Structure 1
Amino acid sequence: MIHIFAALALAITFGCEQSDPNFNGREGDTLTFSGRKWDIKSSSVVVGPGPNYFSKHPNDVFIDDDGYLHLSVEFREGQWRSTEVISQDTMGYGTYVWTLQGDPVNIDPNLVIGLFTWDNNTFQTQANSEVDIEFAKWGDEEEEYTLQYGVQPIAFGPYNPERVLKPEGDNSNWIGVSTHAFTWTDTLITWESWKGGTYGNGEPDASWTFDLSNPARIKYEGGNQSDPIIIPAPGNTTNARMNLWLVNGPGGPAYGTRQEIIIRKFEYIPL
């Protein structure tokens, strides 16, 4: 019973599937959220991260009547399937802000909430231009602190511990509504998190900075390696992404139940 309760603390399951094709704010494989168009990732074979199968089913990723984005992990068509949305807008240096609703502290051990930047075309020079805010236990049921700030490469090849931080503050700040942001420049990345739904509302409840005093690191993936990188730069096709995925891929959630997170709002403030 403890396992079931912990899983449902994050998950919000619906008593029946939605049948109205217009309820989810979607047009085909895109949706509108926080005033922007987002593409919905889907795959019939396992792909990264995870790797996982990704669902575009309208009951797995949708916008509710309040304009909030729902991402889920669901057992569908014989497989556990994760969800991800990708901004059609390209973005670069600036501030990225997400407001969450749910319980990302008492999260299923196999679940990861990802709020991040990415560029398919900058592996070689910028390690895919990835800056992260994540919530996860990374498979460890006993892990207490789930909020994580990071700048890649972290564990693509040797583990680079200086490129990641788990704030060890009051975890209750993240249960309910919480706001998380990073400001990305060519010399400094600053992460900040607040209890509640307002960005910049007084002193942050957690924060971290990463600057050019850190060593350059190489990303190793698929037999390839990037150039040495300290702070990655955005590319011409860098965008924002949000996902809910499984660290063990098709193995599913540890507690075997549908998982869901609500993202109330996203904002990008360019420099």
Structure 2
Amino acid sequence: MKKEKILILTVISLITITVAVLVYQLNVKTLPEASVEKPMQGSNIIEFSGIKWIIKSSNTPIGPGPNIYSADNVYVNEQGELHLAIKCDGGVCTCAEVYTVQKYRYGVFEFKINGDSLGIDRNAVFGLFLYYDNKHEIDVEISRWGARKSPNVQFVVQPYYRHPPHRFDMPLTGDDVIFIIKWEPHRISFRAYLENRTGDRTLVEEWSIKVKEKKPMRIHLNLWLIDLDGNGVGDPPAGDGALEVIVKEVSQH
């Protein structure tokens, strides 16, 4: 009986994650892309990790989520680390996103984050990815997609229905986390490492997929809330995890 109960709970958790991802994918196709892809006059620009980034800002909900995005939720600290936060006030939550001024085609993209950033709220998504449009996207996403117990990381190449995401659990050890995307003309590869204080790395997961992707893309970093109930705005935080993440370094070569 106990084994049957565990099996039922596992199936329910997997269904919840799948529904959350599908709802996001369906919603995102109808959301405005201009604020994501095209830099606008007067946009806030910051420099982080030797790269210029545009801070996404909106007064009404836009994708992903959809959510309201605020420049007040983004800053670079004295150590040169980028902070992204979700803030809620009076029942209204705002999220955070930055994306590069420059576009890239092919190369190795490395993201180093504070290990505590893995422990975000189950209704939040922390994305580190390359983006052209909704059908041309290379993602590392940290999220439990609304489920209490589920893998907390996924690698995915959009469109998702052609290339199912690769999900796995990344342990919270206190070590920094390294994600590497290697983008080649006929293949995209992912790796995830834990890095200790001495700089030693331990490989946790790797995955690759044969795919032709040649669209020039910007690097995006974001922290946002999923819309499981489909009411047109991200759900409130569940209160079981962090609402701020730290990106220590981003590099491309």
Q: What's the TM-score once normalised by structure 1's chain length? A: 0.69
Contact 1:130-1:232 at 8 Å conserved across structures = no
Residue 232 in 1 paired to residue 213 in 2?
Answer: yes
Query: 4+ runs of 1 displaced by more than 4 Å?
Result: 200-203
Contact 1:72-1:258 at 8 Å conserved across structures = no
Matches of residues 134-173 of structure 1 in structure 2 within 5 Å?
134-143=141-150, 145-154=151-160, 159-160=161-162, 162-168=163-169, 171-172=171-172
1:203-249 CA deviation, whole Å, 9 max, x = no partner?
Answer: 622100101xxxxxxxxxxxxxxxxxx433223xx210000000124
What one-letter code is carried by the residue in structure 2 that aligns with 1:206? E
Residue 260 in 1 paired to residue 238 in 2?
Answer: no
Find the aligned partners of 1:245 and 1:93 in 2 and give their Cα distance. 27
Residue 66 in 1 paired to residue 79 in 2?
Answer: yes
- Provide the residue aligned with 2:15 in structure 1: none
What one-letter code is carried by the residue in structure 2 that aligns with 1:132? D
TM-aligned CA deviation for residue 179 of structure 1:
0.6
- Provide the residue aligned with 1:251 in structure 2: 235
What one-letter code is carried by the residue in structure 1 that aligns with 2:171? N
Find the aligned partners of 2:185 and 2:200 in 1 and give their Cα distance. 25
1:66-110 CA deviation, whole Å, 9 max, x = no partner?
Answer: 000000000147520110001011111111110000424432110
The change in CA–CA distance for 1:172 and 1:78 in structure 2 (over 3 A counts) is closer
Number of residue pairs the alignment of both structures matches: 206
Structure that is richer in helix per residue: 2
- Provide the residue aligned with 2:24 in structure 1: none
TM-aligned CA deviation for residue 194 of structure 1:
1.0
Matches of residues 32-43 of structure 1 in structure 2 within 5 Å?
32-43=47-58
Contact 1:40-1:84 at 8 Å conserved across structures = yes
The change in CA–CA distance for 1:146 and 1:257 in structure 2 (over 3 A counts) is closer
- Provide the residue aligned with 1:192 in structure 2: 191
TM-aligned CA deviation for residue 201 of structure 1:
5.8
More RCO (CA 8 Å, sep 6+)? 1
Q: What's the TM-score once normalised by structure 2's chain length? A: 0.74
Identity within the alignment, %: 27
The change in CA–CA distance for 1:202 and 1:77 in structure 2 (over 3 A counts) is closer
Unaligned runs of 5+ in 1: 1-26, 212-229
What one-letter code is carried by the residue in structure 1 that aligns with 2:214? A
What one-letter code is carried by the residue in structure 2 that aligns with 1:179? I
1:30 to 42, 45, 52: 45
TM-aligned CA deviation for residue 262 of structure 1:
0.2
- Provide the residue aligned with 1:108 in structure 2: 121
1:154-211 CA deviation, whole Å, 9 max, x = no partner?
Answer: 1xxxx45x4310135x6245x441110110112111101111179x966622100101
Q: What SS is found at the alignment partner of 1:91?
A: coil
The change in CA–CA distance for 1:93 and 1:197 in structure 2 (over 3 A counts) is farther
Unaligned runs of 5+ in 2: 1-41, 228-232
